Amino acid sequence: MRVLSAFFLVALLSPFFSGCFKDSCSRKMSYIEVNPIYLSPEEIHASTLEVEAPRSMENPGRIYYYGDLLFVNELKKGIHIIDNSNPYFPVQEAFLKLPGNENMAVYNGLLYANIYTDLLIIDLNTLQVVGRQENAFRPFGMNQEDGKLLVGFTETPVTKYVDCYDEERLVWLSDGRPVMFTESIDMDAQGAYFFSAGSEVAASSLGNSGGTGIGGSMARYAVVADYLYVIDKWNLNVFSLAQPLQPEKVYDVYVGSNIETIFPAGKFLFIGSESGMYVYSNEDPAAPSLISGFAHARACDPVYVEGTLAYITLRDGNTCEGYSNQLDVVDVSDIFNPKLLHSFPMGNPHGLAVKGPDLFLCDGKYGFKRFDASEVRDGELPLLTEKDINAFDVIALSPEFSLVLVIGADGFYQYSYAEGDELNLVSYLPVKIQ
C-alpha cells in the first residue's frame, strides 16, 4: 500500500518537476555576442583623422576610385589609400584612421568621409582635415538615460551555456552564424547592426585631379555636379558643395525603411532598398523628387543602371528576410513606369557593373562572373567566365582601360578583360588572415 501511495505521489508531482527541469534547461552554444557602443556628442565631435602607415586589409567594405587612387573602406575603422597608377603593382600609400567610417566620395581633390555621425572633409594633397560638419548623419539610436548616441557595435565570439528561452534572442547572419545582442535595443538599432553590413607618405605623391570619382554599386554616397547625396537607413540627405569646405545640408527626405544603395544616372537617382527600387528626379538637384518605383520580393538590393536598363541584384541574408537570389533586369525607358523584363537565378549576388556588352557580377561565395549582356533583352545572359573568389563589389573602368576592380572577403583583385572572353588577373592585395 505504501508503494502504491508513493507511485501516485510521484505521478502527482511529476508535472511540477518537469516544469522545473524545463525552466532550468540550457545547452552549450557558440555565437557572436553583440555589444552596442555609445558615445556622447562631445566625444564624437572630438574624434578626428589620424594618418597612419599602410596596414593590411582585415575587413574591407566599400571601394571608390579617383584618378589613380583607390580608396578601400576598412569597416568602422578607416580608409586604405592605394596608388593604382600602375595596376600591375598597386602600392598601399596610407591608412586614414576614421573611427566609425563606412562611406566616402571625392570632389575636386577633397575626400568626404563620415566619422561616426560627423562629415569630415580631407584634402588629398595634404591629408589634413580642412572642414567638418557636425551631426550630419543620424545615429543608430540613443541611450535614453544619459543621452549618449549609439554609434556602432563590438562583436565577441563566445561559447557558453544558453538558457533555452534565451535561444529565442538569437539572430542568424547570412553565413549561418548566430548573434545575440547583450542589451535590449529597439528593432531599428538592431537593423542598423546588420545594415552597416564597410601612414606615412609624402602627400604630394597622392596627386590631385579635378572632378569626382567612381563608386561601386554598393555605394551610399554620390556626387553629382555640386551636390553630395548620402543615404542612411531611412533618408536621402543632400549637401550643397557650393562651399566645398563647408558643405551645407539643404534637403533631407524620408525614402523608406532599409535603404541600401544610391546610383546616379543622367537626371535621375536610383535608390535601392530591401523592398524595391525608388527613382528620384534630379531636375532640381537641391531637392530630388520621387517619380516612380519598382517593387520586388524582400531582399538585399544594389542597383546599377546602364542606358535604358536597370540591373538589380536580390539576395537573402541578415535582415533582408528573403529567399531570393537573382538578377532582375528592369526596363526604365519609360522612367515613370519601370517594367521587369527578366529574372536570372544567381547564387548570392552582391555588387555589379556594366560596361558595353559586359556585365560583371559579384556572386558572393559563388564567385566573380563575367556575362555577355548583349542578349539580355531576349532573356539570355550567357556566362563567359568566372573566378572562384568570394566577391561583393566591383568597379569597371571605361573600355579603354579594360580593367575591373573587385573587392572581396579575401582581398582586392584587378582583372583585365581586353582580349576575348577571359578575365586575366593583373594584381592582388590580400586580406590579412585573422
Q: What pLDDT, in 10s, does the model give residues 162-183?
A: 777 666 677 766 556 777 877 7
Sheet with 141-142: list strands edge to edge.
141-142, 149-163, 26-39, 178-181, 171-172
Establish if 376 belongs to a structural domain.
Answer: no
CA separation for the pair 128, 330 (Å, rounded): 43
* CB contact set of 400 (below 8 Å; sequence gap of 6+): none
- Give the global pTM: 0.84
Q: Is residue 252 part of a domain?
A: no
Nearest to 423 by CA among 358, 344, 375: 358
Has residue 221 got a pLDDT over 90? yes
Residue 202 pLDDT class (50, 70, 90 cuts):
very low
Q: Quick check: helix, strand or coil at residue 56?
A: coil
- Location of C-alpha cell 538585399: 300
What pLDDT was estimated at residue 359?
Answer: 95
User: In this prediction, what percent of the chain has a pLDDT beyond 90?
Assistant: 56
Grid cell in block for residue 354: 556594366
Q: pLDDT value at position 247?
A: 94
Is 202 domain-assigned?
Answer: yes
| pLDDT score, position 7 | 42
Residue 148, pLDDT > 70, answer yes
Whole-number pLDDT of residue 190: 65
Whether 340 is in a domain gets the answer: no
Q: For the purposes of burial, counting CB atoms within 10 Å of the CB of 54, is it exposed (0-12), middle (13-18) or buried (19 or more)? A: middle
What is the model's pLDDT at position 324? 78
- Say if residue 17 is exposed, middle or buried (CB neighbours under 10 Å; 0-12, 13-18, 19+): exposed
CA–CA–CA angle 79, 98, 264 (5° rounding):
55
Whether the per-residue pLDDT at 37 is higher than 90: the answer is no
β-strands 128-133, 118-123: how paired?
A: antiparallel
Tell me the sheet residues that pair with 318. Answer: none
pLDDT in tens, 326-384: 999 999 999 999 999 999 999 989 999 998 899 999 999 999 999 999 999 999 999 99
Select the highest-mean-pLDDT range: 99-103, 122-126, 233-237.
Answer: 122-126
- pLDDT interval class at 24 (50, 70, 90): low
Average pLDDT of the chain is 84
* Most trustworthy range by pLDDT among 162-166, 204-208, 238-242: 238-242
Percent of the chain with pLDDT over 70: 82
Total domains present in the chain: 1
- Position 338 in a domain: no
Contact 143, 37 (CB under 8 A): no
In a domain, 247, yes or no: no
Which stretches of 303-417 are assigned E, i.e. beta strand? 303-306, 309-314, 326-331, 339-345, 352-355, 358-362, 368-372, 383-387, 391-396, 403-408, 411-416
Domain of residue 126 covers 31-214
Report yes or no on 319 lying in a domain: no
Residue 286 pLDDT greater than 60, yes or no: yes
SS3 363: coil
Q: Is the pLDDT of residue 23 over 50?
A: yes
Angle value at C-alpha 304, between 301 and 305, nearest 5 degrees: 135
CA angle 132, 207, 119 (to 5 degrees): 15
